[in-house]
Chain A
Amino acid sequence: MNRVFLKNRAAIPFDDLPSISYEAVGDIVAGSPFGGMRLVTLFGVPEERDVVRLVALFADDAQGTLAVTGVRTSRGATLPSLTPKMPVFHLFERQAREEFGILFDGHPWPKPVRYPHDAHTPRRIEECYPYFSMEGDETHEVAVGPVHAGVIEPGHFRFLCDGERVDHLEIQLGYQHRGVEKLFREGPLALKSALAESVSGDAAVAHATAHAGIVETLGDTVIPDRAALLRAIGLELERAGVHLGDLSALCNDIGYLPGTQMFAVMRTEIINTSLALCGCRFGRGLITPGGVNYDIDDRKKDRIARTVIRVRDNAGLLAAAVFDDQSVLARFEKTGTVDTATARAIGLVGPAGRASGLSCDIRLTHPTDAYARHRFAKRPLRNGDGRVAVSGDVYARAFIRHQEIQDSLRYVLELIGHLAAAKDGIAVSVAAPRPGMIAFSITEGWRGETLHAAVTDDDGATRRYHVKDASFHNWFGLALAVRDNGVSDFPLCNKSFNLSYCGFDL
């Protein structure tokens, strides 16, 4: 047996992890003759002395199952790199090299991910950070950041350009590394909700839900129906709010004033609804392990429903106008395209993956809590041609935001309808984490799958905590999307992904 099958939000004894060779991990991934599963994450768990256990998690989206396996290796060991054949391993191998000094033979670009240097060769920073370069008469490099215009996060972008055309973009992150995974290990895991909310501030509900899922899985606790409903309401409001804000920002990037202003107004209405729900416009403080912190009464329920209906209808009307405007379509269409094969190869997740034609949505394929109890259904909206937009360009990534706003707000209304019947309280106490377990919890945040994983030691304390934000996969998608596009279209492509710097840097 080379892998153990399990469901989302499940835990198995850490000792039950299979031990296979690293090459065999590659065989499990889709595209190989024996496998057919998607790599979700790969991370190292340090054990006694120099032993490191690499844990790989896979997902079968058609079957709704996860599979986990392990590779026993040691610090400083050399493993054959799987990246040349399967690019999805690219960043995971770099991460393992920098954290444990494991060398991957044949890895094409073994730079550190977020530290000044890797664990294997502690050298000077400059030596560890080579950049791609290109020679030619008309070629030039444009370096942007890490300090940007406007109040945004730091990241370094190095464009290799041929005139106005981008040949390659190298994205260097790591400036926001705060030691999140280490902080999760210090003290009781159940008290780390605020930390989870800070992994990426715009996806606070998603990360808090994933973290609560870990605590509940390790404590073998099932949350009340009412809590599950309120969590899903919070999560969908977060999704709709960010998508509305992003549509506004996309319009702003192309100088399209009506969209910029009107979407921004609706975003405010939605995040103010989150404020009514939990006292924070960004959904902080709503989720707690075992349930939620805030209940809503009937008056508040009606108010929220009224706002949601209004925004749903207005956003639908506005989107219909925006996606019918020739000057907008001229900018969105065929800009920053990621085709389906590329998206699958690099493991795009979330709306970006769906816009490229992948059917990855944890809410549908690996549902938990409210999504398992009250079926979440997507109604595919059709664009002007009557097709579902999966062209993988900025248009598709913008149009899918519009679709998801409608889906989310409709689902919120359904959930509000179920609230009357759910009178089982908003939280239960969670039992202490079971010792010696490894647990996984995946939540579909607005940006895509948000994974938290934890390993407990013999006392039930957290031995390893692992976070993988959707941005971890998707930044590379942005780098590929801007190839052969005008350098002036980069901001537009960037906004269409709207990835998290701190969610990547951890």
Chain B
Amino acid sequence: MTARALNVLFLLIIPFLMAGVINRVKALAGGRKGPPLLQPFFDTLKLLRKGAVVSRVTSWVFAVAPALVLAATATALLLAPGVGRVQTIAFDGDIVLCLYLLGLAKFFQLISALDTGSAFEGMGASREALFSVIVEPSLFLFAGTLALVSGTTSFGGLFTLVGSGAWPAVAATTGTLLFFMLMLTEGCRIPVDDPNTHLELTMIHEVMILDNSGPDLAFLQYAAALKMYLFALLIAALVLPVDIAPFQAAVVLPLVALLCALLAGIVESLVARFRISHVPQFLFLTVALALIALAAAVYFRGGAV
């Protein structure tokens, strides 16, 4: 019960903190002081108090999409392994629901962008759709591999990496790399996307939410931060010891999430963004990582698979 309550509490705070940490790291790397760590949270509160401007050419899709995207993403987070790998909601096959909820959120984000009829947003949606097509197989492939080995399709058991040979180490390494790359991709960070640019022609995620304002914008930004947190949760589930004590998990989990944000901030401080035509190459790497994990599972588990 405590773990579930903590899951929900973390859901409300850590995504903002992660965004704040990234901004602070970039500011420090650039020789600036940077905004407060909770500035993204304050910005969200500010947006929630504002009114929204809705274009007359848009349909109901544009109106419901932000709330739907946030609801679907937040529900997906509740299914994910949280403190001590305890899920807030758990049932057999919940991983499938989780991934499809993310798909639903993305679908509505895409058609909401198309709904505005803007050439910019159309281009952003087209890029996002292309990248999702590559990201999704790697995610399913890796989850499927874990399911194959553990014999369960619920998040709770999935990440219990017990087994023979080097399998736990291989799975933890490939999984961590894969989820970190997906965190940068889905969180719209450099080197895939540039959250700070003002140039519509180069944007991916930012351009899709150009027409959203007020609470709608707050919902979409929060949903994007939640997705980063989701991948941080998956990394934590992979790397933290299986027999970690609950109170230790409650302390270590936020630290892992903030460490992920710190690393993302360091990446952003050091490298330039990819040319958009080169992003798919980067994403295919995640598919390759998932395939390595699958091969390792077959090799090390042998007859058990």
Contacts and interface: CB of A to CB of B under 8 A. Distances in A.
B54 to A, nearest CB: 20
Contact of B201 (A142, A251, A260): A142
B273 A260 contact: no
A490 B201 contact: yes
B278 interface: yes
Interface string A476-506: 0000000000111111100000000000000
Given A143-B119, A491-B201, A258 B275 contact: no
B195 to A, nearest CB: 9
Given A149-B200, A331-B273, A491-B202, A255 B120 contact: no
Given A142-B123, A492-B202, 19 more contacts: A140-B119, A141-B119, A164-B127, A164-B276, A164-B277, A251-B272, A253-B197, A253-B199, A253-B202, A255-B190, A255-B196, A258-B270, A261-B31, A265-B31, A327-B274, A330-B274, A331-B274, A335-B275, A486-B276
A487 B201 CA distance: 7
Given A257-B269, A258-B270, A488-B202, A330 B278 contact: yes
Interface string A255-296: 111101100010000000000000000000000000000000
A386 interface: no
A24 interface: no
Interface centre among B26, B119, B126 (most CB of A within 10 A): B119
A144 B202 CA distance: 12
A317 to B, nearest CB: 16
A150 interface: yes
B265 to A, nearest CB: 10
9 contacts: A149-B199, A253-B202, A255-B197, A255-B268, A256-B272, A327-B272, A328-B272, A491-B201, A491-B202
- In the A-B complex, the 8 residue pairs with the smallest Cβ-Cβ separation, listed nearest first, are A255-B273, A256-B272, A261-B30, A327-B272, A491-B199, A254-B272, A255-B194, A327-B271
A8 B202 CA distance: 43
Interface centre among B191, B268, B272 (most CB of A within 10 A): B272
A313 interface: no
Chain A, interface residues (CB within 8 Å), range: 20 to 34
A325 interface: yes
Interface in A330-353: 330-331, 335
Nearest to A152: B198
Contact of B29 (A150, A257, A330, A331): A257
Contacts of A257: 26, 29-30, 268-270
Interface residues of B, number: 32
Interface centre among A143, A150, A487 (most CB of B within 10 A): A487
Contacts of A330: 272, 274-275, 278
Main secondary structure of the interface of A (DSSP, over half): helix
Interface centre among B190, B197, B275, B277 (most CB of A within 10 A): B275
A467 B148 CA distance: 74
Nearest to A254: B272
Interface string B252-294: 0000000000000000111111111110000000000000000
Contacts of A142: 119-120, 123, 201
A253 B196 CA distance: 10
A149 B198 contact: yes
Interface of A: 140-144, 149-150, 164, 251, 253-258, 260-261, 265, 325, 327-328, 330-331, 335, 486-492
A258 B202 contact: no
A400 B29 CA distance: 27
Contacts of A261: 30-32
Contacts of B268: 255, 257
A489 B31 contact: no
A261 B30 CA distance: 6
Contacts of A489: 202, 275-276
Interface centre among A142, A257, A258, A265 (most CB of B within 10 A): A257
Contacts of B269: 257-258
A257 B28 CA distance: 11
A254 B273 contact: yes
Nearest to A163: B126
B198 A150 contact: yes
Nearest to B119: A142
Given A328-B272, A330-B272, A260 B30 contact: yes
